[in-house]
A and B are shown apart, each in its own frame.
Chain A
Amino acid sequence: MAASSEILEALGDYQVQCNGNARLRRMQKDWTKRLHFQARETGDWFTMVVVQGEITDFATGTEGTPDIVVFAKSEDLCDMFWGDLNPSQKYLRGEIIVKASPEDVMRLDAITMIIWPDAAS
């Protein structure tokens, strides 16, 4: 089980990776979203804000009305943000649940492909 602080640390790394990737920023310039994540076994919530492709904020708790809500085990959240896990296979197995429009689900997968092209399944 990953602690909330570890997930935040992973989120910080994810922010650096995303915001520093010119290809991703160009691809995502039309994407402004608010995401909520919940670590299922701990019940901890996290909020991430993306404005025109840039991750501008992340924090514990739920803030605002989300466009996308992700439920996953805390370790999967950590691994996903570190880039050690390709979330697509876990999504297809029903272990990661995403409540979002089909376009946003595909966009999350596209982000993964760009920044973590060789992430494990």
Chain B
Amino acid sequence: MDAEATNSKAIKTQALHDFAEYVNPMKARILAHAGLDIIEGRREGARVWDVTGRSYIDCITSAGSFNAGRRNPHIIAALKAALDELDQGIFLICSKAKADLAKRLAEITPGDIKYSMFGASGGEVVDFAIKLARGYTRRPRIISTLKGYHGHTGFALSAIGRDAYQDPFRPLMPGFDRIPFGDAEALASAIGEDTAAFIIEPIQGEGGIQVPPPGYLRAVREICDRAGALLILDEIQTGFGRTGKLFACEHEGVVPDIMTLGKSLGGGLYPITAAVFREPLGDFLVANPYIHLSTFGGADLGCAVGLATIDEIIGQDLPGHATAMGERFMAGFRQLQAKYPEVLAEVRGRGLMIGLQYLDQSMGPRMSYQLAQRGVIALYTGNDPSVMRLQPSLVISPAEVDEVLAAVDGAMAAIVAGVADEPAARGKETRRRRPRETEEV
């Protein structure tokens, strides 16, 4: 091993040790078990290289934060140019960068969506969306969905569809109810005159890439309208081309009252998120212009990045590419489903938001491990380890799609064959308890 390789391995070992020691020991352990004890070095396009130089295709992309690719050079250039003139800006005064990005968002979002409230995290703008819904309607109740995911801040946490995220922190915000996802009748039964809003993801991400039945979004739009409730679409993961349209709600021609955006808006380079909303709701801010403030939300640097990212996604027709690559993936996965029925139960998704439903929960971690050995980073969902999410960058090439498919094929073959290349099993030893360090040997 040459000196450079030895040095990079030492850097990785130290970083993994320090992460476990000073950031999150259990997270480090879980990732190591799944073969994902990787320290990112070079990043480019759909790929990332471990600091030791090993190449991986990134199918996690921080749940869809790198739609325009890792370290997109055009977005980097925009950020560098902004750094020559700007900083985060004074959040209490008007900003040209904010105004430019808000105007652009009004142009590209569906229907009469006009206003933007910026944030620095997804949870922050979901919180604002719920506050706006309550403030505008003066109604208390929020309906969300089981297994839904909206972030970990106050209102967002209360809307999330997973008890495990909520239980240690109860009591939560009052007035939140959950219904099954994809069931319009359930919404019709639950909604009432006290309902401020129904919040959903167009496709559930953390919930296991759950695609609702055709017509669902149109039905919930009508139900909300009849009840006088607002429809909040959380497009933080599905937005900016991920599903083959710029926004997933466009597949059904639905215009939400409020839409939350994040992840790829920041181009993977600068944190910026937004809640965008229809013109009538702006009256709430007319009456309450300082009701929601954010020091870092919509920083001038972030707005410059957001504009460049939007230009890149639209200019390169990444939604169209996502559709084509998604179809290539789906055709390949359906062949693998036929080849490995004892592993893969279902393939679902839209565009480059794809879920592999395995037959049991242990398959998720096992497949993560096997895929990492074959140069693919992919992770099972938090809500259900039997589902693996694949959300690669939208710049992924046909050859790279085929590379992922070959890796999945090899991983499934290894699992079916008895996983010969997983870590060697411990040799035969006595089952008697070994002496502990504190005991005399």
A interface residues, Cβ below 8 angstroms from B: 2, 6, 10, 13, 30, 75, 78-79, 82-85, 88-95, 97-98, 101-103, 105-106, 109-110, 113, 120-121
Contact = CB atoms under 8 A, between A and B. Distances in A.
Interface string B358-391: 0011100110010000000000001111000000
B361 A92 contact: no
B366 A109 contact: no
Contacts of B423: 89, 121
Given A84-B431, A92-B33, 5 more contacts: A30-B167, A83-B433, A94-B366, A102-B361, A113-B29
B164 A91 contact: no
A75 B33 CA distance: 22
A121 B32 CA distance: 12
Interface residues of B, number: 31
B425 A102 contact: no
21 contacts: A79-B429, A82-B431, A82-B434, A83-B436, A84-B433, A90-B425, A91-B362, A92-B362, A92-B365, A92-B422, A94-B362, A94-B419, A95-B425, A98-B361, A102-B384, A103-B164, A105-B361, A106-B26, A109-B30, A113-B25, A113-B26
B431 A2 contact: yes
A68 to B, nearest CB: 12
Contacts of B365: 91-92
Interface of B: 25-26, 29-30, 33-34, 164, 167-168, 360-362, 365-366, 369, 382-385, 415, 419, 422-423, 425-426, 429, 431-434, 436
B125 to A, nearest CB: 27
Contacts of A97: 360, 362
A79 B425 CA distance: 13
A84 B429 contact: yes
Contacts of B436: 83
Contacts of A101: 164
A98 B365 CA distance: 13
B362 A98 contact: yes
B382 A102 contact: yes
Nearest to B427: A120
B362 A110 contact: no
Contacts of A13: 433
Contacts of A93: 366, 419, 422, 425
A38 to B, nearest CB: 16
